[in-house]
């Protein structure tokens, strides 16, 4: 008898399986988010794309040893729980690998975090120092003194 009896189908089935990229469905209330910090008891602090930080729990089927660990910095798909009436409650329903995150960025599903940080740096208030200095340089002090 052969010792490798039953291993023949394993390679065949893994070659035929396809892994589809899961995208957010806005109608159901799904959103992309980044894990900021694990809080314990399958609860995480996540930051949505608009910058809002919310608490979210882990979906029941994602708990246990069979599933990959959700760590800080990971990209996840969260869904709003429609059964709650008070404070909004979210659940993590999918964890994206770095490869899947790159695919989503190429599809234009969300802006990468580096582009968001660059946009925040370029935003300027009217009373900031550079604007005030530019306005002061436009005024010619000598002409004002001569007019008096």
> What residues contact 92, with CB distance under 8 A and at least 6 apart?
44, 46, 56, 57, 58, 59, 62, 70, 76, 77, 78
pTM above 0.85, yes or no: no
Tell me how many domains the chain contains. 1
Query: pLDDT tens for residues 10-23?
Result: 555 555 556 788 88
CATH value at residue 93: 2.40.50.140
Two tokens at 103? 């695919």
Tell me which residue range forms the domain holding 35.
23-121
Cβ-count burial 35-65 (b if 16+ within 10 Å, e if not): beebeeebebebebeeeeebebbbeeebeee
Domain contains 17: no
Query: pLDDT tens for residues 61-120?
Result: 888 777 788 999 999 999 998 776 677 889 999 999 999 999 999 998 876 444 544 555
């Amino acid at each position: 008898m052969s010792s490798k009896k039953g291993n023949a189908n394993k390679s065949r089935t893994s070659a035929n399986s396809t892994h589809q990229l899961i995208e957010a469905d806005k109608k159901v209330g799904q959103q992309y988010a980044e894990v900021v910090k694990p809080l314990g008891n399958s609860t995480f602090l996540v930051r949505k794309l608009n910058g809002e930080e919310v608490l979210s729990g882990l979906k029941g089927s994602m708990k246990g040893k069979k599933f990959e660990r959700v760590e800080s910095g990971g990209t996840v798909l969260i869904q709003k729980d429609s059964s709650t009436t008070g404070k909004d409650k979210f659940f993590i329903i999918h964890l994206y690998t770095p490869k899947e995150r790159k695919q989503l960025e190429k599809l234009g599903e969300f802006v990468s975090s580096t582009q968001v940080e660059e946009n925040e740096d370029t935003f300027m208030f009217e009373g900031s120092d550079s604007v005030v200095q530019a306005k002061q340089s436009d005024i010619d002090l000598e002409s004002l003194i001569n007019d008096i």
